[in-house]
């Protein structure tokens, strides 16, 4: 008996030692960079040019209503007058009426081109909340150190920030070694079919193979990742796909005074409930796993202990992550039942009932796999499961975290944002960059802005704004990126 007890204690001590040693050795060094003098940016002038761009309500509407057409034309005129050097030196093509593709030819024939992208369109302002804005959404106000308005972050600061950096480089006669493309779509918020899809197809037809694409996506997250003190620059290396499925039940109708045991509504409700209780399995791999490899070492001791010993704690970690909606979205294909319909009158049995569920598909899963899972989870032949609508997208490939383009991006971020950690990231929404699959091996999604917990709701919400100083920093980032990517002889 004593021997057994002794053996158990020895085992526990050995386990504790292994956990501790792993924790103490746990670390992923952030790349060391030389901090240079930050490039001079006329922040106030740049803010004024951005503010002016926010006065054009470039809400893309199918059917091209005159109002939105005028807004895009006004924006284009503003860009041409605000960035004269860009418009003199770069070739500018208008694609599908409103999208813009600028080409800045490189000086070295063999150098693979790079592409920076952003989108001109903005989401509409909900009329119910329009009066809640501190500064009207399309007035281009500058106050309290911020530029206010719809599109300030998402994503005219990207369009104009990239053009500011290019204009500055042209001013000092910079000639890129590789060709630089600037691509600004006009319908990102509606799926990008007319804009990014067309631009990518144009490049594909011309046989262009890009070194990398940079689009919006992850931000410099400050105080957003639980337990992580320093700001973390999150570079999206993958984005989720999506599909909508309809669940439909059809039964005989009749008078509600003599109902069967189950109505169409009851059958559907049971199916929806089963669907919610059986989501697609959660797993920590791919981009989310790579993110924790990078940020884990910055966690408090308990967090480091757990993440340094995933061989033991993985199931526990996955369960913990899945409990919070933001993290859950990074570790599984999510299920959201968004529409429920059934019945026409209180005393008539419904002959049909339907639900629509929106799935965001994690890389590694597929639309086919989601449909199989849904049919199995519901396990009821009376419920017909079909694709709803024709807009769907498979998850993107996962871009490399060891490619030269990744290292370039990582270094550039660390140079411009001193003290931040850089980590890969799983983007849970859809961006225009997914359309560049096949034109570029590496697609990265990073918005060079520091965002805190208070800022997240402003994007697509009320009081969207960007700090003037933060915007200047974004311009420095694009400037540095172009220098690092395109200086001859690198
Ligand atoms: Zn956007």
Per-residue pLDDT of 397-454, as tens digits, reads: 999 999 999 999 999 999 999 999 999 999 998 889 999 988 998 999 999 999 998 8
User: What pLDDT shows up at residue 65?
Assistant: 66
Count CA within 13 A, CB hemisphere, residue 175.
6
User: What pLDDT shows up at residue 102?
Assistant: 98
- Among residues 55, 39, 181, 51, the alpha carbon closest in space to that of 114 is found at 181
CB atoms within 10 A of CB 204: 13
DSSP string, 87-141: HHHSEEEEETTTEEEEEE--S-TTSPPEEEEEE--BPPPPTTTGGG-SS-TTS-E
* Distance (Å) from CA 330 to ligand 1 centroid: 19
Rounded distance between C-alpha atoms, residue 221 and residue 420, angstroms: 9
* Distance (Å) from CA 447 to ligand 1 centroid: 10
Give the pLDDT mean for 384-388.
97
- Among residues 148, 4, 120, 135, the alpha carbon closest in space to that of 56 is found at 120
User: What pLDDT shows up at residue 445?
Assistant: 97
Rounded distance between C-alpha atoms, residue 389 and residue 467, angstroms: 39
Which of the following is catalytic: 154, 188, 432, 464?
Answer: 188
pLDDT at position 120 over 90 = yes
Q: Is 188 a residue of the active site?
A: yes
pLDDT band at 267 (very low <50, low <70, confident <90, very high): very high
In 443-467, alpha helices (H): none
pLDDT at position 391 over 90 = no
* Distance (Å) from CA 183 to ligand 1 centroid: 13
CB atoms within 10 A of CB 340: 15
Cβ proximity of 46 and 164 under 8 Å = yes
Rounded distance between C-alpha atoms, residue 178 and residue 346, angstroms: 68
* Distance (Å) from CA 295 to ligand 1 centroid: 25
Rounded distance between C-alpha atoms, residue 424 and residue 405, angstroms: 13
Give the pLDDT mean for 212-237.
93
- Write out the two tokens for 119: 């989108």
* Distance (Å) from CA 152 to ligand 1 centroid: 10
Which of the following is catalytic: 121, 216, 410, 415?
Answer: 121
* Distance (Å) from CA 472 to ligand 1 centroid: 19
Give the pLDDT mean for 285-302.
91
- Which residues contact residue 267 at a Cβ distance below 8 angstroms, ignoring those fewer than 6 apart? 249, 251, 353, 380, 382, 383
Give the pLDDT mean for 128-136.
93
pLDDT band at 164 (very low <50, low <70, confident <90, very high): very high
CA distance from start to end of the chain:
70
- Please state whether the predicted TM-score (pTM) of the whole model is above 0.85: yes
pLDDT band at 66 (very low <50, low <70, confident <90, very high): low
What backbone phi and psi angles, to 5 degrees, belong to 460?
Answer: 70, 5
Give the pLDDT mean for 457-465.
90
pLDDT at position 36 over 80 = no
CB atoms within 10 A of CB 377: 18
User: What pLDDT shows up at residue 63?
Assistant: 64
Residues 166-185: pLDDT tens digits? 999 999 999 999 999 999 99
Percent of the chain whose predicted confidence (pLDDT) is above 90: 76
Percent of the chain whose predicted confidence (pLDDT) is above 70: 98
DSSP character for 246?
E
* Distance (Å) from CA 458 to ligand 1 centroid: 13
Give the pLDDT mean for 123-134.
92
User: What pLDDT shows up at residue 67?
Assistant: 67
User: Residue 232: enclosing H or E segment and its boundaries?
Assistant: strand 232-239
DSSP character for 38?
P
Q: Is 463 a residue of the active site?
A: no
User: What pLDDT shows up at residue 229?
Assistant: 87
């Amino acid at each position: 008996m004593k021997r057994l007890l002794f053996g158990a204690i020895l085992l526990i001590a050995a386990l504790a030692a292994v956990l501790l040693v792993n924790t103490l050795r746990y670390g992923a060094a952030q790349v060391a960079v030389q901090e240079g003098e930050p490039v001079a940016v006329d922040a106030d002038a740049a803010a004024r040019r951005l503010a002016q761009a926010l006065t054009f309500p470039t809400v893309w509407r199918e059917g091209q209503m005159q109002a939105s057409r005028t807004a895009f034309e006004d924006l284009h005129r503003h860009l041409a007058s605000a960035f004269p050097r860009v418009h003199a030196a770069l070739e500018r093509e208008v694609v599908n009426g409103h999208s813009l593709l600028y080409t800045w030819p490189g000086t070295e024939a063999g150098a693979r081109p790079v592409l920076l992208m952003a989108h001109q369109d903005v989401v509409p302002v909900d009329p119910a909340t329009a009066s809640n804005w501190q500064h009207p959404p399309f007035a281009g106000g500058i106050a309290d150190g911020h530029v206010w308005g719809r599109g300030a972050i998402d994503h005219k600061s990207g369009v104009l920030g990239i053009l500011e950096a290019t204009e500055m480089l042209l001013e000092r006669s910079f000639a890129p070694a590789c060709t630089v493309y600037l691509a600004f779509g006009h319908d990102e918020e509606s799926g990008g079919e007319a804009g990014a899809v067309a631009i990518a197809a144009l490049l594909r037809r011309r046989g262009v193979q890009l070194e990398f694409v940079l689009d919006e996506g992850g931000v410099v997250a400050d105080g957003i990742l639980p337990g992580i003190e320093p700001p973390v620059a999150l570079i999206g290396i993958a984005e989720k796909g999506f599909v909508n499925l309809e669940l439909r039940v059809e039964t005989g109708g009749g008078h509600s005074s003599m109902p069967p045991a189950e109505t169409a509504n009851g059958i559907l409700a049971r199916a929806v409930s089963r669907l919610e209780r059986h989501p697609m399995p959660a797993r920590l791999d791919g981009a989310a796993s790579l993110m924790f490899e990078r940020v884990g070492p910055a966690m408090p001791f308990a967090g480091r202990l757990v993440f340094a010993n995933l061989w033991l704690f993985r199931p526990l970690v996955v369960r913990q992550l899945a409990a919070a909606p933001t993290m859950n979205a990074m570790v599984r294909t999510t299920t959201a039942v968004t529409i429920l319909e059934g019945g026409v009158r209180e005393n008539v049995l419904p002959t049909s009932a339907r639900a629509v569920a929106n799935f965001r598909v994690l890389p590694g899963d597929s639309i086919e796999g989601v449909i199989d899972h849904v049919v199995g989870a519901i396990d009821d032949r009376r419920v017909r499961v079909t694709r709803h609508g024709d807009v769907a997208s498979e998850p993107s490939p996962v871009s490399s975290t060891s490619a030269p383009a990744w290292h370039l991006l990582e270094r550039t971020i660390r140079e411009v944002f001193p003290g931040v950690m850089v980590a890969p990231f799983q983007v849970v929404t859809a961006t225009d960059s997914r359309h560049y699959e096949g034109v570029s091996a590496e697609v990265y999604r990073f918005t060079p802005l520091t965002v805190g917990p208070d800022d997240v709701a402003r994007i697509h919400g009320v009081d969207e704004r960007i700090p003037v100083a933060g915007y200047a920093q974004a311009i420095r980032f694009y400037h540095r990126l172009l220098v690092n990517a395109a200086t001859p002889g690198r």
